[in-house]
Amino acid sequence: MLTFVIIYYAFLILACCVAAYYKYRTALLLLFTLLCVSLISGLLFGAEVLVNITICVALLAAAAGLSYSFRESLIQVLPPEGAKLMRTAPLTASFGLLVIIAYVIAAVFAPLIAPFGEAEVVGGSFAPPDDVMLLGGDQLGRDLFSRLIYGARNTVGIALMTTAIAFIVGTLAGLVAAQMGGWVDQVLGRIVDTLMAIPQLIFALLLLTIVGTSVLNLTLVIALLYSPLIFRLARAVAGNIVVMDYIEAARLRGESTWYLITKEVLPNITAPLAAEFGLRFCFVFLAISALSFLGLGIQPPTADWGSMVRENATLISFGEVTPLIPAAAIALLTVAVNFVVDWMLHISSGLKE
């Protein structure tokens, strides 16, 4: 351990000197910060913590390298406009795109990737990882790796469908309210205010207890709870568009309300709505996982990351990290989507100019 500590600090000091010599200010700042954190952590918690820091830094470096390689690959295969856009993409956005694509592949090809069936019992209860079950078994002896892959299809697929329904309802209602105004705007606004006044999780638990916990009911209830938020965004951004001169000119030409909404207003608010879709997907995704953890979401034997955390929570008492794997899958997708949404907001805002 002493040899590792000496090599560790010598490497950091040498890297700081090289960065300072070549005037790489960002690299110098990062390396010097890492050196200070490592020194304080080593003094407080011992030399063993340096191994964990090394592993974390190595994972971050691997993620950065993988993201850079993925971005360069996209630049080579995309058409000129797409390649130009990807050249300006930060590594965080490339990492987010890579994670999202990996999740999509896992969801679409789950039966081909997973070694066992979604509810197939192949081992003992809480079996340890081995060559057959890569992540071990759950409380019934089902393969956790297979259920994790199928969970991508179920959890992400249902969250995406729910977000799409909420967006269709909320956007259409917001556009109608902004375009028609008057009593229609007032009635829809008061309904939305009423729904938003009720805590979402409590309201979802109440509704699911009443109507049942099927996938259809779960989708409709979550969509109902999140459509008011989308309504307010669509109403706000469309309200700035409907007062424009070209909208008034189209109205004087005798165009219908549907034409004004679909041809004049909607194309001009696509960018903020697209960014909001990504953010709202994260909230819906986390809400479904939370409800599944509480037992009112996706029901067994269907694989779901939230319910997998609950089913294997007993292992935490024995120092096992198995229940944290589906939780990490939830967190990783949430972070990845937020990285991509931040990039989209940066592009649509014009700050890149």
Quote the mean pLDDT of the chain.
Answer: 83
The single-letter DSSP state of residue 139 is T
Longest Cα–Cα distance in the chain: 82
Are both 152 and 266 inside the same structural domain?
Answer: yes
Q: Strand, coil or helix: what is 141?
A: coil
Tally of domains within the chain: 2
> SS3 of 253, please?
coil
Does 160 map to a domain?
Answer: yes
Residue 130 falls inside a structural domain? no
Q: Which residues contact 136 (CB under 8 A, 6 or more apart)?
A: 126, 127, 128, 129, 130, 144, 322
Within 10 angstroms of residue 31's Cβ, the number of other Cβ atoms is 21
Residues 201 and 297 sit within 8 Å (Cβ to Cβ): no
At 260-287, the pLDDT tens digits run: 888 878 888 887 888 788 888 888 888 8
pLDDT score of 122 more than 70: yes
Cα separation, 330 vs 341, whole angstroms? 17
CA 127/CA 136 separation, integer angstroms: 5
Tell me: pLDDT of 350 over 60.
Answer: no
Note whether residue 159 is domain-resident: yes
Together in a domain, 235 and 318: yes
243 and 323: one domain? yes
Q: In the structure, what pLDDT confidence band is assigned to residue 351 with cuts at 50, 70 and 90?
A: very low
pLDDT above 80: residue 352: no
pLDDT tens by residue, 9-39: 788 788 888 888 877 787 788 878 888 888 8
Q: Of 151, 183, 160, 119, which Cα lies nearest the Cα of 285?
A: 160
Q: 46: number of CA atoms within 13 Å, CB side? A: 2
User: Is a pLDDT exceeding 70 seen at residue 302?
Assistant: yes
Q: Is the pLDDT of residue 144 over 50?
A: yes
Q: What is the pLDDT of residue 201?
A: 80
Q: What is the pLDDT of residues 31-77, one digit of tens each?
A: 788 888 888 887 777 777 877 888 888 888 888 888 888 888 888 88
Is 108 part of a structural domain of the chain?
no
User: Domain check: are 156 and 45 in the same one?
Assistant: no
Model confidence pTM above 0.85: no
pLDDT tens per residue across span 178-231:
888 788 888 888 888 888 888 888 888 888 888 887 888 888 988 988 899 889
- High-pLDDT (> 70) share of the chain, %: 98
- What are the Cα distances from residue 134, in Å, to 106, 116, 143, 150, 171? 16, 11, 8, 15, 44
β-partners of residue 137 are 143
- Give the domain CATH number at 242: 1.10.3720.10
Average pLDDT value for residue range 131-137: 81
Q: What is the pLDDT of residue 165?
A: 92
Q: What's the DSSP call for residue 214?
A: -
Instruction: Give φ, ψ of 303 to 5 degrees.
Output: -75, 130
Question: Do residues 161 and 271 share a domain?
Answer: yes
Cα atoms in the 13 Å half-sphere on the side-chain side of 295: 2
Domain hosting 72: range is 2-87
